[in-house]
A and B are shown apart, each in its own frame.
Chain A
């Protein structure tokens, strides 16, 4: 079964997450016709809020977001996983989660919106490690700002708190005032260590912005902000649709068709949930399907012309998988009550280890003191310790007021052996193979994590902490990147500095999959900035066409 009429647009985008929908919005506003094909369904916030409230295991961020069978996503961060299969020495450290539905994974992100440091783009030149990107910080600076305006990012005044990424304009919104718990943590770090705690830049409203309300401190940014005070890709979808972009839900792209010279993409094909196949033609194509699914789609599209997959003459599609695999510890502070969990989840960061000469030896990292409501955890802990009645209630209050959670983002390096392939044994209901990832933590990252463990032990000591619960092994941070790596040499990279594939002149990729290295800050602001730069390139080229 296939559709009678062929769909067509100037630009066809695969994926409606931040990357795809922000490009769609920019192009549609410039009068360019756009079709966005989204594998998952249309969804709405209130159902996710209801699902969250009905969820027994509240820390399960995937819990409120069941997948549809034709666009599956990982059900949880467990190994083995029913969808994202991981193997290798650090299989469990690569249990990334993401969402496949209109608006994408930022339905349950935390809104942390870091710019990378200038050095993050030049790791090879400065420290002899990894690779350089095929662009510099200054190339991206205007698009970082555009992304911050699009999302509504609040952050500190650089004159007072310089985060190391030079800015031409102030943040669109003032920094978020940090919670009492974070204030106490900041004071401790300032007084007792050589380090500092900074205000985290966040896509969270500190005043009404883009017709969305000011943050009310529901402490549920992950998995679902109940009021939309935090940006997510859904808002760029609304804006893009209002500007005339056409979004087609439940459209699972499975094939990228090229001309006989294999230089030009002519169409993409998608399946609907009934396996009906549809062809969509266009002048330009952008794959914005998230790091894992983007590489998977290029590999699935292998045919006689490109037996190793589309855009894969280098053989690097699916290789160089990275993340911010980190360390996590939860403990009970022996100091005064903090009551974490009043206000947003992630607001403050120790940023001293984001850069330094030691980066020639070990990876950089940053530390979050997670401001998470600990009442439920405290209750479970107190019951398991054997308390009942009045004593139980005292314990719950004490533990909820004194539980501290620290976690880190540690820098990975691109290693071609860390590789995504198509599962040979598992397919979804449309017959598309599941993704499989082999992962071995780079020594660079292991050394970085060891350094972090040392720091966490020191901090625990300073807070007179007890009952430490270390998350076993390493902690996946859901920042997968590198699977269609950027570079200047078509022999060892997939896209150029403009995110255009070396192999196909009208095929672009907008995703963390293009990252050449992964730095320390959460990845999405950089994804959005790169995507907006793709939109800029397309606008210019279509204007000249």
Chain B
């Protein structure tokens, strides 16, 4: 199983891979361990030298670093820079790493000291404004989702190993939602960010009758202007919409714009 593989008769290198976590729930890494059926194939395709969720040993020899989580402390910045120096390819794994994720919700409070006190009480810890990996280092590849979709990671890892180009869907979640013939959440009077959110999750939430919360961030062409009209026409308040847009950090820029416009209108 540890022998090198071939594809169509051509030997395929088995890259050394490390998994790292910054501030996160480690749920994305757990996703990878979830599907036993393909785990062995995964392990024969790459050589995992570091994976806290799955093994004790840890090596610093890796070509590809999958980094989960967002940056919330100075020591994490240092660790991340260190990883960048060692790895040929740094992959941001999951929405925390890509946009800050749920963690960045605290950024909307102006007084971080107050947040710290509310959360940690008399056990203060060092914490700063939440940043995605790309605010600290150059990121080569982003894998979106909270959590990531295991099938998607497997597809991407296979492509990396075979040296193929990696494509993310350019369309929003609605496209996949329609292919699953779901009832649209808006018909049920519920909000959904599917029309502006990057697909790839196979419309995970709408297929379970939950509106999309935008965990994969904006589609490359996200018509936020129209989204606001869609929500307003259906009597969904702007605050409710903003709550959703803010949840994972992918829409931070848009939310800031909306807030500025709101202030100006006052």
Partners in one complex: no
